[in-house]
Amino acid sequence: MKLYYLQGACSLACLISLIEAGAKFEAIPVDRKTRKLPDGRDYTEVNPKGYVPALELDDGEVLTENTAVLPYIADLNPSAKLAPPVGTRERFRLQEWLGYLNGELHKNFSLLFLPSVPEPMKQIAKDNIARRLALIEERLGDKPYLMGENFSVADAYLYVILSWRERLGVDISAFPKVTALYERVRARPSVEAARKAEGLSA
């Protein structure tokens, strides 16, 4: 299995999850400027969508989209409990979180990365982010993780999105439970290992 990643991008959530699952895989960096792979190929040869993550399975099939790749990784090792079992109500709750993080939180953060997006639009994205985080804060209640007691792939995804906050000027101090979850996930050895593998600072 090969995970294609951009340093510090959302693919970091997949890398964290692969480590948590104890999976055998290779992490392949995509050059941010040239979008080339270490073997000289264009990344679009692997994933015509052009963005990360992409997970190349051992039979050569390529899986994309965080909402598909993260549960796939979780199911590689059910004993790691990175997702509730397929067919349970809880599994749909995980899908609900992944959809929310992907479409409602990640995509608003994505706008903040784009120099071409005008400031008023960025402010709208920040207001959206604050509303999305307020809901997470409320839903967390006394739970340590999004799904309750167990860390899941959704927490890895939320952690990575929030790791962009400082450089994008997103303040999460109004959300102490979200902040505590972020710190809890940051302290996991898998996160340390994944950050080190991507050459990210401590």
Ligand X SMILES: N[C@@H](CCC(=O)N[C@@H](CS)C(=O)NCC(=O)O)C(=O)O
Rule CB under 6 A: which residues touch ligand X?
Answer: 6, 9-10, 50-53, 65-66, 102, 110
| 53/84 with CB nearer ligand X | 53
| 6/73 with CB nearer ligand X | 6
Shortest distance, CB of residue 142 to ligand X, whole angstroms? Answer: 30
Shortest distance, CB of residue 79 to ligand X, whole angstroms? Answer: 26
Query: How would you class 64 by CB atoms within 10 Å of its CB: exposed for 0-12, middle for 13-18, buried for 19 or more?
Result: middle
Shortest distance, CB of residue 146 to ligand X, whole angstroms? Answer: 17
Question: Cβ neighbours of residue 173 under 8 Å, at least 6 residues apart?
Answer: 179
| 65/104 with CB nearer ligand X | 65
| 102/108 with CB nearer ligand X | 102
Q: Cis peptide leading into 71, omega within 30 of 0?
A: no
Q: Which of 160, 166, 199, 153 minimizes the C-alpha distance to 182?
A: 160
| 10/146 with CB nearer ligand X | 10
Strand arrangement of the beta sheet that strand 26-29 belongs to? 26-29, 2-5, 54-56, 62-64
Reported as type and span, the H/E element at residue 68 is: helix 66-76
Shortest distance, CB of residue 181 to ligand X, whole angstroms? Answer: 20
Q: Which of 162, 145, 165 minimizes the C-alpha distance to 153?
A: 145
Structure tokens at 178: 């979200």
Shortest distance, CB of residue 14 to ligand X, whole angstroms? Answer: 9
Q: Which residue number has the CB closest to ligand X?
A: 51
